[in-house]
Amino acid sequence: MTSSLRDPDALFELGQALQQADYQFVTTTPASHRRVNGRDGNERARDLRGVFGWSRPFSADVVPAGMLDLMRRAGVLRERDGHLCATVRASTVGERLYFHSAFPTREDDAVFFGPDTYRYVAALKRSMEAMTPPARAVDIGTGSGAGAIEVACRFPDCEAVGADINPFALSLAAVNARLAGAAHVPTLHSDLLKDLDGGFDLVLSNPPYILDPSELRYRHGGGMHGAAFSVDIVDAALERLRPGGTLLLYTGIAIVEGRDAFLETVRSKLDARCSNWRYEELDPDIFGGQLDCEGYEDVERIAAVWLHATVRG
């Protein structure tokens, strides 16, 4: 099953309507989402947060008629068991609103958004504080577009490309950029950087890093317990960054017997190509429930890490 957006302009107007209604919603982990929705009284949505945040079924009188019409025009409304459901969610990070896939994210082209996105944006903002304004940036695997949009809002003259292999993600990212007032965020199809021309002053990414038996694109990071795709991003960035350019990477790393195989793999590459780089654990233990899954029998923990590297000028 694939997702599609019928009318991007209608979704943009829906986002504006939610912003005007002072809509706010912080997206939790899937485990927390299930727990909250499983509580008595949470079977159906009673307000906009229930509809667009908690992805609960709702009756037509819960959503203003104008919003309901925009949902129909955008193609983000469906009926299930006699109730209506939104096929997108809306999350907020500060003043920005981001559309992404509704819960649960079972489709291969689902656009994921959650606690990792908040950590990614926070680390990105810290790193941009002392950064020379880039002329051209790219967010690899942009998803909702959060990374590219934050760069474009911080550096208004920068072309901040949102790159992804998922057409649905590119559609949502384009709408989200409009909602943020980010003028220079082209959303382009690309496998890593293979389909893009030229060099970059900034490469950033928050890639999938889970070892997923179903190999869903928004989750599966490949070999090395899900770190292989992150290694590929480091390689692509070091190849395409202009002199003095910067790589900013947020990812999750499986720690096995105290060892970080990702860091061991990229250390020599960074030493060879970069004037300086730093690597830190932002959170030592995330998605603990993943350790019960196939392929994680020898994993002690999954750490959220941040890599900030500058290539030689």
Output the pLDDT for position 178: 98
Output the pLDDT for position 2: 56
Every domain of the chain and the residues it spans: 8-101, 115-311
Output the pLDDT for position 1: 46
Give me the CATH code for the 115-311 domain, please: 3.40.50.150
Residues 6+ apart with CB under 8 A from 41: none
The token pair that represents 210 in the structure block: 């889970």
Output the pLDDT for position 264: 98
114, 138, 158 from 182: Cα distances, Å: 21, 14, 10
How much is the CA Rg of the chain, to the nearest whole Å?
20
Count, residues in the chain: 313
**Which of 211, 230, 3 is CA-nearest to residue 101?**
3
Contact, 233 vs 142, CB < 8 A? Answer: no
Q: At what angle do helices 146-154 and 167-180 cross, to 10 degrees?
A: 30
* Total-model pTM: 0.95
Residues 6+ apart with CB under 8 A from 266: 231, 234, 307
**Which of 237, 22, 46, 202 is CA-nearest to residue 127?**
202
Going residue by residue through the chain, which has 313 residues, state the pLDDT in tens, using 9 for 90 and above. 457 799 999 999 999 999 999 999 999 999 999 999 999 999 999 999 999 999 999 999 999 999 999 999 999 999 987 899 999 999 999 999 999 999 998 888 999 999 999 999 999 999 999 999 999 999 999 999 999 999 999 999 999 999 999 999 999 999 999 999 998 999 999 999 999 999 999 999 999 998 877 776 667 778 888 899 999 999 999 999 999 999 999 999 999 999 999 999 999 999 999 999 999 999 999 988 889 989 999 999 999 999 999 999 9
Say if residue 100 is exposed, middle or buried (CB neighbours under 10 Å; 0-12, 13-18, 19+).
buried
Output the pLDDT for position 100: 98
Output the pLDDT for position 94: 94
